[in-house]
Structures are given as structure tokens and as C-alpha cells.
Amino acid sequence: MTTESFGANMPAGQPVAIASGDRALAFAVSTDGRMNVWSSSRGEWSTSPGQLPGGNLVAAVPCAVALPDGSAHVYAIANGGGLVHWSSPDGDSWVRQAEINAVIHGGWNGLAVASPDGQRMEVFATTNSGVQQFSFAGDVALPANPPLPESDGLPTRLLAATSASPGNIDVFAVDPASRLLLHWRFDGAWSLRRIGTPVHVDSGIAAVSTELGRVQLFAIADDGTMRSWSAQGMAGAAQTFAPEAIPPGAWALPVGIPAVVARGRRLDLFAIGQGGIFNGGPLVHWRFDEEWREPRAYDSGLGAGGLAAVRTAHGMDVFGIQSGSNNPLLHWPAGIGAYGPDRWSNWAGNRVTDPIEGHCEPTCLEELVAIVRTATHKGKRVRAVGSSWSFSDIAVTSGYVVETRKLNRVLDAGFPAALIANPTSVDPGSGGAAVPSKLFVHVEAGIQLEELMTYLDSENLAPATMGGASGQTLAGVVSTSVHGSHFRLPPISDWVRAIHLVGPDGAQYWIEPADRPITDPNNKATLQDVLGPEVTILHDDAWFDTVLVSVGSLGIVYSYVLEVRYQYTLREKRTAETWSTLRPRLLAGPGSVFTQGIVGLAVTVDAGSVGSNDPNCILVQRDEVNSAPSASPSFDALGAFCEGDMLIALLFKAGEALGTPAVVLPALMAALELSPLAMAAVVAIPGALPTLAGLAVTAAGAATTAVVAADLLIKGLKVAGPGAIGDLVGRVLNQQPALVGALTTLLTTTFQGPGETIAIAHNAMGPKNKGECATRGLGLEIACDAGGTAHLDYIDAALALLRDEAAMGRMLGGWFSIRFVGRSRAILSPQRTAMTCMVEFVGLRTLDSTYALFAGLEALGREHGGIQHWGMAYDDNNLVAADVDRAYPRLDVWKQTRRTLTRGGVVRTFDNHFTARCGLSDSPIRIQRVVFDPPGSDISGEQVVIVNETAAAVELSGWTLRDAANHVYSFPTFVLEGDTEVTVWTKSGTDDPTNLFWGRRAAVWNNKGDTAIIMDERGIEMARFTYPQ
């Protein structure tokens, strides 16, 4: 569900909502005849209702209005038909005014209100004598007006009213006879006409003024579709309502009252979709931004009736009544309150959190903002994930995981109008050429690359570069600086031209570089109109370079503007080499493989041959050609593990290559015993297990064994779920380590043997994902400066390590690849030199040798000045703050921007163990000193002085202070004010604002040396002090 319950119990009907400045109010009549009220302040809603004075209300649709002076007014129908009026000068204190005598129908009847001048209010209701107009000046009811012309005889009606220009009023209802819209217009006198086309006789009407003199109408037709009309006309001018086509959705709309909010010409329209009596219907949402977008539906549980929608400076809120027997008010977007605990795992399965506090799946910007805002206000932690391909703990949290994959739309509508003329390209070889607007694509950041490539194909467009696969989300690719092998170009992150970030508190930022903007820094009005007033627009190099690669620690990216190019074709040539002959050619100079015309270069080292002194390699070179695509797409290393059918077959071939085919099937059967899920899946296939057992005994060496056994195993293992095939193969190789080398050589030669392919660009660079991989591995990647020989020295050292380990029976069960990429501008991009060599290793996660080999390879990378890729550091202990400090010379700029976003580090919404370990989430708390050997007895004078280095208060409740021997002090309920310090004494005493007492009877701090560590309530390290220093 994307809605949350605000409590109370209401009959079927419509709530109403109004906005005044930073606050919003929602109202609904309860089953006991009282008027419930909910309020928000700066976007935070009270989730339980208050009640306006008095009761005795009939179940009908109320109305409300906020005036420019800040006052609010609510109207409802009393039992007996009177008109009830509440007023408030500020939305807090309410007065019930004298009831107006009238005979207003109850039931499916509604009131409507409009203010033609910002002071006077006109309320309309259907009575026995027609549509009656009630006038108010503030709290004062004015003399009665006659009914609107030709309105007598109307049954119960749902009315709508608006004022599109000063002194004018427009009132609407559905004619029960013709089912056309009745339109009463006042511009000095009342007139009536019928407009539009027939709609449902009981439909409510939503009316809104989008700009001076313009009115837009919405109603639901008999066939369950939304109808719309718009008209332009000032006082005395004729109005002609013209129909506007609204894109149909997959959801029929039951009769009810739609809701619409306007911001300039932009419209957000809502209706309730068809649903069940008890489970309710979805909230259906259309958006108009120069054109109508296809509707989206949010699972909401709404009952029949109507909706209310309101927009403030903090975003948009929609209200409806829940279906079923208990009918509380529902609010959208809900924030973290809509999501429950769940299990999360990354793609490789090496990172699992079970349970997490909430598993969020926003489908639009509003839901994303609400999740971040409510998490910040409640002190919760949030981490965003896309396809969860990272091997590191970058996304791990015990708080709220935000899955972004449903944020996958193209957002071009309205954006091109904000572009400057002739923005320059980021392509270093373009010479600052201008980029046509068609080559800027604005997309939600959760879009998978495969989805993005499908869209680009349809527009004859292509990425300038990309990584080696297309299963990741764009946000995951950009925020961790994923790369390909285009050594003349920067990674894909540098082709981002603008970022829409949702930061702490749900604050929104549109960020562009000042040195290469695509919108006008000196005239932001057009862009502001497209984005909305709640978005802060920044043209700032430091901000852009910081947020571009921010590993999820600054917020959640909602959308990117990406520079692309027209579609092109790449030819890939794969040549067999040996390392000794290839190594010198990986340097500049005569014979270099970095020749003119070559745009991409990679090397695959045959991991099965690393036991020799001169391993086999495949050199991969790409150039642009005009030829038509001629063959299958390029090799995808992770995709090779997706070929589960082939991997099992290659295992049998490896046995044949070694002359030991008989060992494979028995090893597979033994591995099944260690794989409960896989065994259960195979057992579920009738006759499979007896057949496999028989083959293992009687025909293990026969050629047919591989075919029959592989077929049965694959059927079962695919049912067993992602990772089952690779896990089984890893366990087989643990029993038969001699098979590892043969299998990895077959893997390399089968998927990337010598040859040539031609394909359109993205199929050559990052082939389409084959779905959820049947096999999952672990990965490690080291970035080295390719400007000298450091990268080759590291590769030599890695080969020597793998050769020594192979001699002891420990081989890499996967592959070993080398790619080259240009410099990135992002502060935290590993591609930080003119050319960077990316050295990647992938291995089966259940193969015992994988972890030990990776540990050695990572340690070698550090020794040779390399840095781990953010998403490819498989072990928690191997990417730490010292590595980050060493690798990124502009880290201070990055941290300064982060401090600005997080109010000096006080807001920790996006922090986790990863950011703390890597030194990316500096704490506002610092241990100033430890007095470990005071004069006199240690217990009397031992103390730790803790400083809050920011101006904001920090709550320390639930935090801990400990020493190296794990003596732990738990902070009581305590707030450390800004720019102050507190002393934690080892002895007993009475706590006060500047002194806390551990209450120990013995000394804690070791006089010879110790470490004081402060951890927050989630166990994340916030400060450390080691002595002697």
C-alpha cells in the first residue's frame, strides 16, 4: 500500500483539503456527525484527528477555503438542512458560527465554495428551491441570495465552484436529464448554459483555475473514463469549453468525485480506480506538463466516493476514505509509514538483512520525497538500491531500503523548454560542439539500463559509453562510477548533465555544473516552473562533482538528464594473445594496442591458465564502423554466469578435457546433498533423483550421461531460484579442484574466443540482461593509474599470486579482466587519472578458494596504489577510511558539501556502516581527550570529554562509549546541545547537562594505551580516540 491511515471512521463520501502557506488542513465528516480535522506543519501531518466544535452533521460532502489573510473556513450540512460554518484565523483555533437556516439535501449531496476577491466567500448548495448561494464576508453571513437561474427541481447534486478572475464565479453540476454539465457563470449577472458531452449522472466534478481566466473541468463518464474540458474567458467575454483528451488507463473509474491541483499550467489529477468492496481501489494519477502523461495507479485501498488534493511548498497530499467496514481517512503519499519489515538481499546473495524496518518501493517523486522526509523526521536510516548488483555493503541498512526500480519513466515532457541554446558537449573529442536538445534525455534514476536502451533504440539514439552489462539501474551505475572500456571517454557518470536529488528532510535539489550548464543560471524561472517551487536549483561545480558519485550517502537521486548521441555501430575484434607478448603493447609507443581509430580496449586473462608462467589472454578492441550488425552481442562477464544451461554442460566438458568424466556426476550428487533448496527442487521432478543416482553408478562416463543429467539438473535448479546453479557448481569444484582450471578456460574460450562481431553500440558494450541470473558470483575490482607502469606492476603481482595459489590447488573459479577508461570529474570516481586501468576478478561464491584469493588480490591492489571500486569491494574490512583518504585528493570538497546537506552531520538519514567505515559520514561528535591517568586514584579522576562540533543539538540516547576491552557505558536519555561538551566520568555521581557518570567501581582506561569508541544507537561508529598518539 502507498497510503497510510490517519484514523477516525467516516461514511462514504469526500474529504476536503486546503493549503495556507506552509501548512495544510484536511476535513471529513465522521459517522458520529462531527467534523474531523487533520493538520500538517512543514509537510509533517498529524496522524490522528482533532474535531471542530459541535456536531449534528449529516453525511454529505463538505467544502473549505483558505483566504489570503491566513484564515480558514469550513462548511457542512447539519441535520435538518442548515448550513454550518466554522472559521479560524490561523488553522489552529476554531469557532463554530451561527447556523444558517436552510433546507439543504443530505446524502450524495455536496457544497461548493469560491472566493471571487480573496475576501468574500460564496457557498453553493442544492436546496428544494434550487442551487442556493450563501455569501460570507469573513465570519459574517450576508443577506440571502436568490437561487441560481433555472436550478429549481434539481435532485441531490454534487457541485463544483471556482473563480478564474476577480469578480467572476463559475459553478458546475451534472444535468440529470441530459447528463451534460450545467454551467452557471457570474460576471455581474448569472447566466446558464449546458456544456460538454454526457457524463455519469452521479459524477462529481473537479474544477480548477490554472491561470487567469482559464477554467479546467473533470468528470467521470458512464464508461468509467475521465473526461475533461477547458475554457478561457475574462469578465464579459464568451467562454467556450473545448474537450481535452485524457489518456485512458487500465483501471475503470467508478462514479465518484475526482480531485485536481494546479501549479501554473501544470495539473495533477486524481481519481479512484475500480476495486473490491473490502480491498478497495487504487489511486489513479494523471499529470499534465505541456501534455498529458499516461496515468499511474498506486495501490491504495480506497473506498467509493471522492478525493481531496492539496499542494503546499512541501509537496502534494491526497486524501480519500478507506474501503471496508472500518473507514479511516487515507493519506497519500504515506512515507515510511506505508511499508513493513521485510528481508533484503543483494544480487550476489553475499549481503542479507533480515529483517529490515521497512522495504519501500516508491513509484513517483511524491512517494520518494515522503519516504525520505518521514524517515528524517523520525530519525530513521534509509539506503537506496536499484538492481542490488553491488558486492560491497554500500546499500546495507537495518533501517529502510528504498527500491528505486519502479522509478523508471522517461520525463522529457516540459523539460526542453528550459534548455539554453547550444549547450556544449562533455565529449572531450567534440571540441565544445553544441548538443541538440534531442540528445538530452531526462529519465527517472531507477530505470534499468536495458529499459533505457530500449527507449534510446526507439529514438535512434545510443549512449556514448556504458558498462559491460545492462541489468543495473542508472542511479546505481552513476553513483558508483560504473565504467566500460572506452579509454578515450570518461565513464557513464560524466555524461550526466543534471541531477534531481532528494536529500535529507525530503528537500529537493536540481544540480548542474556551473562550467557546463544546460539551463540558464541567470534566468531560472522557466526551469523553476517545470520543477516546482519546492526544488532548489543550483549551478555549482562543487555540488555537482560531489553528488555525481556519492555512493548513496547524500540522498536518493530521483532523475538524471543524460547526454546521448545518435545510434552507431561498433565492431569488436578478439585476438588470442599471451601475457608476455601483450604486456609491452599495453603502454604507449610503437606497437601499442591503443591505436588510432580504436575506441574501446579490454583484456580477458584466461583464469584457467594462470598456473603457467605465461597465461593466455584475449585482446578485445572496438572501433566504430558503418556495417550492419552481423552477429550476437558482445561478451557480458556477469551474463556468462546467467547462462546456467551452458555452465552445467561446461562442467561435464571440463571432466572430459581432463580425461576424468566419471568424477563429475558423483560430485554433483554429493553437492546436491549440501544444497537443500536445490535438492528439494530436483526431488520435485518425478523420477529425477533415481535417474541421476543410477547414472552416477552405471553410466558416469557415457556421452549420454552429460545430456540426460544436465537436462534434469537444469530443470530443477532453475526452479530452486537465482544462484542455485552457481552454488552447486562451486560445491562440485570444492570436491574436484582439478576441474576449476579446465572449467574457467572453457568459460573464457566459449564466451569470448577469438573472432569478430558487429553490433549496435549498446549491444556491443553492455548486452541485454538475460533476466534474473541463474548463477551468482562475487566480484572485486581495483582501479590503477594507467599513466605509467603501476597498473602493469599490479597485474604482474596478481598473476604471480594466482600462479602460486594454483600450485597449491587454489584456483580462481571465474574470470580475470582488464579494461581502460578515461578520467571522471566526479570527486569520488575511482577513474581519477587521465587513463585508469580497471582490473576485475569474479569468482563463484561457494568455491572455497574465492575469498582467500580475493583477500590477497585486494591487499596487492592497495600495495600498488590502487583503489577498490565502490560496488566491487566484497569484504567489509578491506575498503576503509584510510583507503578513501589516500585515493581521493578532493575529498575535503566532497565532505564540505555533505556537511551543508546534513546540517554539519547532524542529519544522518543516509548513513550506514559502509559510510562510517569509509570516512564518508563524519560525525558531529568528537572525543576531545581521555584523562586516563589522573592525579590520585584513577577511578576518581578518569574521564572522557566529548564535544559537539556543530551548532545543532545531537541526541545521544542509546549511544555507547566503550574501550578496547569492550567495557561499555550506555548513554541515558540525553541531548548534547550545539557547540558544547559533556564529560563522562568513570565514577558514580548525579548526571547533569555537562557531566555523566558511568557508575563503575574500578578504572576503565588503560594507562599504557587504549581506544575510546562512541557508537550510535544502531551500532555505527561515530567517534574514536586512541592514545598514546
pLDDT tens-digit readout, 23-61: 899 999 999 999 999 999 878 888 889 999 999 999 888
Total domain count for the chain? 5
Which of 395-404, 475-484, 568-577, 639-648 is predicted most confidently?
568-577
Confidence bin at 71 (pLDDT 50/70/90): very high
Confidence bin at 916 (pLDDT 50/70/90): confident
Between the alpha carbon of residue 192 and those of residues 150, 187, 201, the distances in Å are: 8, 12, 18
Same-domain pairing of 348 and 447: no
Q: In sequence order, which ranges of 604-675 are alpha helices (DSSP H)? A: 637-642, 644-657, 664-673
Boundary residue ending a domain (304, 332, 360):
332
Confidence bin at 11 (pLDDT 50/70/90): confident
Boundary residue ending a domain (714, 732, 751):
751
Q: Residue 616 domain-assigned? A: no
Boundary residue ending a domain (724, 751, 778):
751
Same-domain pairing of 74 and 140: yes
Same-domain pairing of 276 and 375: no
Q: H or E stretch including 968?
A: strand 968-970
Same-domain pairing of 531 and 487: yes
Q: What is the overall mean pLDDT for the chain?
A: 86
Going by their DSSP bridges, the two strands 214-220 and 242-244 should be labelled as: unpaired
Cα 264 from chain centroid? 27
Q: What is the pLDDT of residues 924-978, one digit of tens each?
A: 899 999 999 999 888 999 999 999 988 878 889 999 999 999 999 999 999 999 8
pLDDT reading at 127 higher than 80: yes
Cα 509 from chain centroid? 15
Using CA atoms, how far apart are residues 487 and 835, in angstroms rounded to an integer?
Answer: 7
pTM (2 d.p.): 0.86
Domain that holds residue 946: 923-1027
Residue 878 is which amino acid? N
Q: Residue 300 domain-assigned? A: yes
Using CA atoms, how far apart are residues 615 and 595, in angstroms rounded to an integer?
Answer: 24
Same-domain pairing of 354 and 469: no
Same-domain pairing of 500 and 559: yes
Confidence bin at 671 (pLDDT 50/70/90): confident
- Residue 572: phi and psi, rounded to 5, are -115, 120
146 near 135, Cβ under 8 Å? no
pLDDT at 700: 47
Q: Does 915 or 577 have the greater pLDDT score?
A: 577
pLDDT at 658: 87
Q: H or E stretch including 915?
A: helix 913-917
% of the chain at pLDDT higher than 70? 89
Same-domain pairing of 156 and 269: yes
Q: Which residues of 905-939 are buried (b: 16+ CB within 10 A; e: fewer)?
A: bbbbbbbbbbbbbbebbbbbbbbeebbbeeeeebb
Confidence bin at 887 (pLDDT 50/70/90): very high
pLDDT at 643: 46
Same-domain pairing of 318 and 197: yes
Same-domain pairing of 152 and 31: yes
Confidence bin at 369 (pLDDT 50/70/90): very high
Instruction: Give the domain CATH number at 351.
Output: 3.30.43.10
Instruction: Give the domain CATH number at 1017.
Output: 2.60.40.1260
Same-domain pairing of 125 and 206: yes
In the beta sheet, which residues pair with residue 112? 124
Closest CA to 85 of 113, 50, 116: 113
pLDDT, mean of residues 89-107: 91
